[in-house]
Structure 1
Protein backbone atom coordinates (compact mmCIF):
# COMPACT_ATOMS: atom_id res chain seq x y z
CA UNK A 1 0.00 0.00 0.00
CA UNK A 2 1.49 3.34 -1.05
CA UNK A 3 0.84 6.53 0.93
CA UNK A 4 1.77 10.00 -0.27
CA UNK A 5 2.60 12.28 2.64
CA UNK A 6 2.58 16.07 2.34
CA UNK A 7 5.28 18.09 4.14
CA UNK A 8 7.68 15.14 4.47
CA UNK A 9 10.60 17.18 3.18
CA UNK A 10 13.71 16.16 5.11
CA UNK A 11 15.42 13.18 6.72
CA UNK A 12 14.04 14.13 10.15
CA UNK A 13 10.55 14.07 8.64
CA UNK A 14 11.19 10.55 7.36
CA UNK A 15 12.29 9.46 10.84
CA UNK A 16 9.17 10.95 12.47
CA UNK A 17 6.79 9.39 9.94
CA UNK A 18 8.56 6.02 10.21
CA UNK A 19 8.43 6.10 14.00
CA UNK A 20 4.75 7.04 14.11
CA UNK A 21 3.76 4.37 11.58
CA UNK A 22 5.67 1.74 13.52
CA UNK A 23 3.91 2.85 16.74
CA UNK A 24 0.64 2.22 14.92
CA UNK A 25 1.80 -1.31 14.03
CA UNK A 26 2.46 -0.67 10.35
CA UNK A 27 5.25 -2.55 8.59
CA UNK A 28 7.14 -0.30 6.18
CA UNK A 29 8.70 -1.68 3.00
CA UNK A 30 10.24 1.63 1.93
CA UNK A 31 10.12 5.27 2.88
CA UNK A 32 11.46 8.31 1.08
CA UNK A 33 10.62 11.99 0.82
CA UNK A 34 6.86 12.28 0.36
CA UNK A 35 6.14 8.57 -0.01
CA UNK A 36 5.73 5.50 2.20
CA UNK A 37 5.16 1.96 0.98
CA UNK A 38 3.51 -0.27 3.58
CA UNK A 39 3.75 -4.05 3.47
CA UNK A 40 0.00 -4.62 3.80
CA UNK A 41 -3.14 -2.95 2.57
CA UNK A 42 -4.82 -0.86 5.26
CA UNK A 43 -8.46 -0.37 6.13
CA UNK A 44 -10.24 2.95 5.85
CA UNK A 45 -10.22 3.21 9.65
CA UNK A 46 -6.47 2.47 9.82
CA UNK A 47 -5.86 5.14 7.16
CA UNK A 48 -7.87 7.64 9.23
CA UNK A 49 -5.87 6.73 12.36
CA UNK A 50 -2.59 7.16 10.46
CA UNK A 51 -3.76 10.49 9.03
CA UNK A 52 -4.79 11.73 12.48
CA UNK A 53 -1.48 10.68 14.05
CA UNK A 54 0.65 12.20 11.30
CA UNK A 55 -1.41 15.40 11.34
CA UNK A 56 -0.20 16.10 14.88
CA UNK A 57 3.30 16.46 13.40
CA UNK A 58 2.20 18.65 10.48
CA UNK A 59 1.98 15.89 7.87
CA UNK A 60 -0.99 15.12 5.65
CA UNK A 61 -1.89 12.02 3.66
CA UNK A 62 -2.74 13.01 0.10
CA UNK A 63 -5.67 11.39 -1.63
CA UNK A 64 -6.24 12.95 -5.03
CA UNK A 65 -3.87 12.61 -7.98
CA UNK A 66 -3.37 16.38 -8.43
CA UNK A 67 -2.20 16.76 -4.83
CA UNK A 68 0.08 13.77 -5.22
CA UNK A 69 1.61 15.22 -8.38
CA UNK A 70 2.20 18.61 -6.74
CA UNK A 71 3.76 16.94 -3.72
CA UNK A 72 6.02 14.88 -6.01
CA UNK A 73 7.13 18.06 -7.78
CA UNK A 74 7.96 19.68 -4.44
CA UNK A 75 9.74 16.59 -3.15
CA UNK A 76 11.87 16.25 -6.30
CA UNK A 77 12.86 19.92 -6.20
CA UNK A 78 13.60 19.91 -2.46
CA UNK A 79 15.74 16.79 -2.91
CA UNK A 80 17.51 18.45 -5.83
CA UNK A 81 18.38 21.56 -3.82
CA UNK A 82 19.08 19.88 -0.47
CA UNK A 83 20.84 16.69 -1.52
CA UNK A 84 22.06 17.03 -5.07
CA UNK A 85 23.09 20.70 -4.90
CA UNK A 86 21.46 21.26 -8.29
CA UNK A 87 24.19 19.06 -9.76
CA UNK A 88 22.32 18.03 -12.87
CA UNK A 89 23.18 18.36 -16.53
CA UNK A 90 19.67 19.31 -17.67
CA UNK A 91 17.29 22.16 -16.97
CA UNK A 92 14.98 22.00 -13.98
CA UNK A 93 11.99 21.47 -16.29
CA UNK A 94 13.71 18.57 -18.09
CA UNK A 95 14.67 17.10 -14.70
CA UNK A 96 11.00 17.11 -13.66
CA UNK A 97 9.96 15.56 -16.99
CA UNK A 98 12.55 12.79 -16.53
CA UNK A 99 11.39 12.05 -13.00
CA UNK A 100 7.63 12.40 -13.44
CA UNK A 101 7.24 11.27 -17.06
CA UNK A 102 4.70 14.01 -17.74
CA UNK A 103 4.54 17.03 -20.01
CA UNK A 104 6.12 20.05 -18.31
CA UNK A 105 3.45 22.52 -19.42
CA UNK A 106 0.80 20.28 -17.82
CA UNK A 107 2.83 20.08 -14.60
CA UNK A 108 3.45 23.83 -14.63
CA UNK A 109 -0.22 24.71 -15.17
CA UNK A 110 -1.36 22.33 -12.42
CA UNK A 111 1.24 23.61 -9.96
CA UNK A 112 0.48 27.29 -10.66
CA UNK A 113 -3.26 26.77 -10.44
CA UNK A 114 -3.17 24.92 -7.12
CA UNK A 115 -0.20 26.60 -5.42
CA UNK A 116 -0.62 30.13 -6.76
CA UNK A 117 3.08 30.28 -7.69
CA UNK A 118 5.00 28.99 -10.70
CA UNK A 119 7.29 25.98 -10.40
CA UNK A 120 10.20 28.24 -11.35
CA UNK A 121 9.41 30.74 -8.58
CA UNK A 122 9.03 27.89 -6.08
CA UNK A 123 12.41 26.48 -7.18
CA UNK A 124 14.05 29.91 -6.85
CA UNK A 125 12.61 30.24 -3.34
CA UNK A 126 14.04 26.82 -2.41
CA UNK A 127 17.46 27.78 -3.73
CA UNK A 128 17.42 31.08 -1.86
CA UNK A 129 16.49 29.28 1.38
CA UNK A 130 19.48 26.98 0.78
CA UNK A 131 21.68 30.03 0.21
CA UNK A 132 20.41 31.49 3.51
CA UNK A 133 21.21 28.22 5.27
CA UNK A 134 24.74 28.17 3.86
CA UNK A 135 25.29 31.83 4.75
CA UNK A 136 24.18 31.15 8.35
CA UNK A 137 26.56 28.17 8.59
CA UNK A 138 29.33 30.61 7.59
CA UNK A 139 31.58 27.86 6.23
CA UNK A 140 31.56 28.80 2.52
CA UNK A 141 32.25 32.01 0.67
CA UNK A 142 29.53 33.47 -1.54
CA UNK A 143 31.54 32.34 -4.56
CA UNK A 144 31.63 28.76 -3.22
CA UNK A 145 27.88 28.88 -2.53
CA UNK A 146 27.23 30.09 -6.09
CA UNK A 147 29.34 27.22 -7.46
CA UNK A 148 27.70 24.65 -5.17
CA UNK A 149 24.19 25.66 -6.25
CA UNK A 150 25.09 26.03 -9.93
CA UNK A 151 24.52 29.76 -10.21
CA UNK A 152 26.17 31.18 -13.30
CA UNK A 153 27.94 33.81 -11.19
CA UNK A 154 28.06 35.42 -7.77
CA UNK A 155 26.33 38.44 -9.31
CA UNK A 156 23.42 36.26 -10.49
CA UNK A 157 23.09 34.71 -7.03
CA UNK A 158 23.28 38.14 -5.36
CA UNK A 159 20.69 39.67 -7.70
CA UNK A 160 18.28 36.76 -7.22
CA UNK A 161 18.85 36.81 -3.46
CA UNK A 162 18.10 40.53 -3.23
CA UNK A 163 15.03 40.20 -5.46
CA UNK A 164 13.57 37.46 -3.23
CA UNK A 165 14.63 38.69 0.22
CA UNK A 166 15.06 42.43 -0.24
CA UNK A 167 18.58 42.15 1.22
CA UNK A 168 22.02 41.66 -0.21
CA UNK A 169 23.71 38.42 0.88
CA UNK A 170 26.28 40.38 2.88
CA UNK A 171 23.56 42.28 4.77
CA UNK A 172 21.68 39.04 5.37
CA UNK A 173 24.86 37.53 6.82
CA UNK A 174 24.80 40.31 9.43
CA UNK A 175 21.20 39.65 10.49
CA UNK A 176 21.35 35.85 9.93
CA UNK A 177 18.79 33.45 11.33
CA UNK A 178 15.88 35.82 11.88
CA UNK A 179 15.04 35.71 8.17
CA UNK A 180 15.12 31.93 7.50
CA UNK A 181 11.97 29.89 6.81
CA UNK A 182 11.24 26.21 7.24
CA UNK A 183 11.11 24.42 3.86
CA UNK A 184 7.57 23.22 4.47
CA UNK A 185 6.51 26.85 4.99
CA UNK A 186 7.42 27.83 1.41
Structure 2
Protein backbone atom coordinates (compact mmCIF):
# COMPACT_ATOMS: atom_id res chain seq x y z
CA UNK A 1 0.00 0.00 0.00
CA UNK A 2 2.63 2.55 1.09
CA UNK A 3 1.58 5.31 -1.27
CA UNK A 4 4.20 7.96 -1.83
CA UNK A 5 3.27 11.04 0.20
CA UNK A 6 4.81 14.45 0.24
CA UNK A 7 8.00 14.16 2.36
CA UNK A 8 6.62 16.59 4.97
CA UNK A 9 3.44 14.52 5.30
CA UNK A 10 5.48 11.34 5.71
CA UNK A 11 7.60 13.05 8.36
CA UNK A 12 4.46 14.17 10.21
CA UNK A 13 3.02 10.65 10.17
CA UNK A 14 6.33 9.23 11.37
CA UNK A 15 6.22 11.75 14.23
CA UNK A 16 2.72 10.56 15.14
CA UNK A 17 3.77 6.90 14.99
CA UNK A 18 6.65 7.65 17.36
CA UNK A 19 4.23 9.42 19.69
CA UNK A 20 1.82 6.46 19.58
CA UNK A 21 4.62 4.06 20.49
CA UNK A 22 5.72 6.27 23.38
CA UNK A 23 2.18 6.81 24.75
CA UNK A 24 0.25 3.54 24.28
CA UNK A 25 -1.68 4.09 27.51
CA UNK A 26 -3.54 7.05 25.98
CA UNK A 27 -6.86 6.75 24.20
CA UNK A 28 -6.80 7.48 20.50
CA UNK A 29 -8.36 10.86 19.76
CA UNK A 30 -8.27 11.43 16.02
CA UNK A 31 -8.90 15.19 16.31
CA UNK A 32 -6.16 15.65 18.92
CA UNK A 33 -3.67 13.55 17.02
CA UNK A 34 -4.47 15.30 13.73
CA UNK A 35 -3.91 18.72 15.36
CA UNK A 36 -0.67 17.46 16.87
CA UNK A 37 0.84 17.04 13.40
CA UNK A 38 -0.98 19.89 11.68
CA UNK A 39 -3.46 17.76 9.71
CA UNK A 40 -7.21 17.85 9.44
CA UNK A 41 -8.99 14.70 10.60
CA UNK A 42 -9.77 13.66 7.04
CA UNK A 43 -6.18 14.29 5.90
CA UNK A 44 -4.84 12.24 8.80
CA UNK A 45 -7.13 9.31 8.08
CA UNK A 46 -6.49 9.36 4.33
CA UNK A 47 -2.73 9.97 4.51
CA UNK A 48 -2.11 7.52 7.33
CA UNK A 49 -3.98 4.74 5.55
CA UNK A 50 -2.15 5.48 2.29
CA UNK A 51 1.21 5.48 4.11
CA UNK A 52 0.69 2.52 6.46
CA UNK A 53 -2.05 0.50 4.79
CA UNK A 54 -4.21 0.74 7.90
CA UNK A 55 -6.09 3.57 9.58
CA UNK A 56 -4.55 5.42 12.52
CA UNK A 57 -7.03 4.12 15.11
CA UNK A 58 -6.46 0.51 14.07
CA UNK A 59 -2.71 1.03 14.02
CA UNK A 60 -2.81 2.56 17.51
CA UNK A 61 -4.92 -0.34 18.81
CA UNK A 62 -2.31 -2.75 17.39
CA UNK A 63 0.44 -0.89 19.24
CA UNK A 64 -1.56 -0.97 22.47
CA UNK A 65 -2.19 -4.69 22.24
CA UNK A 66 1.43 -5.49 21.44
CA UNK A 67 2.62 -3.34 24.37
CA UNK A 68 0.00 -5.02 26.58
CA UNK A 69 1.29 -8.45 25.56
CA UNK A 70 4.87 -7.36 26.26
CA UNK A 71 3.84 -6.06 29.69
CA UNK A 72 2.11 -9.32 30.54
CA UNK A 73 5.21 -11.27 29.51
CA UNK A 74 7.06 -9.49 32.32
CA UNK A 75 4.74 -11.36 34.71
CA UNK A 76 4.21 -8.31 36.91
CA UNK A 77 0.57 -7.46 36.13
CA UNK A 78 -2.69 -9.30 35.72
CA UNK A 79 -4.73 -8.87 32.55
CA UNK A 80 -7.22 -6.79 34.54
CA UNK A 81 -4.45 -4.43 35.64
CA UNK A 82 -3.08 -4.24 32.11
CA UNK A 83 -6.51 -3.47 30.65
CA UNK A 84 -6.80 -0.57 33.09
CA UNK A 85 -3.29 0.70 32.29
CA UNK A 86 -4.22 0.86 28.61
CA UNK A 87 -7.45 2.73 29.24
CA UNK A 88 -10.08 0.02 28.91
CA UNK A 89 -13.15 0.32 31.12
CA UNK A 90 -13.34 -3.42 31.69
CA UNK A 91 -11.55 -6.66 30.94
CA UNK A 92 -14.22 -7.76 28.43
CA UNK A 93 -13.59 -4.74 26.17
CA UNK A 94 -9.84 -5.23 26.44
CA UNK A 95 -10.13 -8.95 25.68
CA UNK A 96 -12.20 -8.27 22.57
CA UNK A 97 -9.61 -5.76 21.28
CA UNK A 98 -6.74 -8.11 22.17
CA UNK A 99 -8.36 -11.02 20.34
CA UNK A 100 -8.99 -8.83 17.27
CA UNK A 101 -5.25 -8.09 17.08
CA UNK A 102 -3.65 -11.34 18.25
CA UNK A 103 -6.29 -13.89 17.23
CA UNK A 104 -6.70 -15.31 20.73
CA UNK A 105 -7.99 -14.16 24.12
CA UNK A 106 -5.51 -12.82 26.67
CA UNK A 107 -6.19 -15.71 29.02
CA UNK A 108 -4.92 -18.07 26.30
CA UNK A 109 -1.66 -16.19 25.80
CA UNK A 110 1.41 -18.32 26.25
CA UNK A 111 4.99 -17.30 25.80
CA UNK A 112 8.05 -19.34 25.03
CA UNK A 113 11.68 -18.29 24.94
- 1:176 alignment partner in structure 2: 111
Segments of 4+ moved more than 4 angstroms:
none
Over 3 Å counting, the alpha-carbon distance change for 1:124 and 1:65 in structure 2 is: same
CA RMSD, 1 decimal:
1.9
Number of aligned residues: 108
| Structure with the higher fraction of residues in strand conformation | 1
Cα distance, 1:93 vs structure 2: 1.1
Q: Calculate the TM-score normalised by the size of structure 1.
A: 0.53
Higher relative contact order (CA 8 A, sep 6+): 2
Cα distance, 1:101–1:66 mapped onto 2, change above 3 Å: closer
- Say yes or no: does 1:67 pair with 2:10: yes
CA distance in 1, matches of 2:111, 2:62: 17
Q: Quick check: 1:125–1:164 contact (8 Å CA) kept in 2?
A: yes
Give the unaligned 5+ runs of structure 2: 1-5
Flag the 1:107–1:177 CA change in 2: closer, same or farther, 3 A.
farther
Query: Unaligned 5+ residue runs, structure 1?
Result: 1-62, 179-186
Which has the larger Rg? 1
Shift of 1:110: 0.4
The Cα offsets for residues 136-183 of structure 1, whole Å up to 9 and x where unpaired, read as 0111111111111101210011011111111111111xx2257xxxxx
Q: Assess if the C-alpha contact under 8 Å between 2:13 and 2:37 holds in 1.
A: no
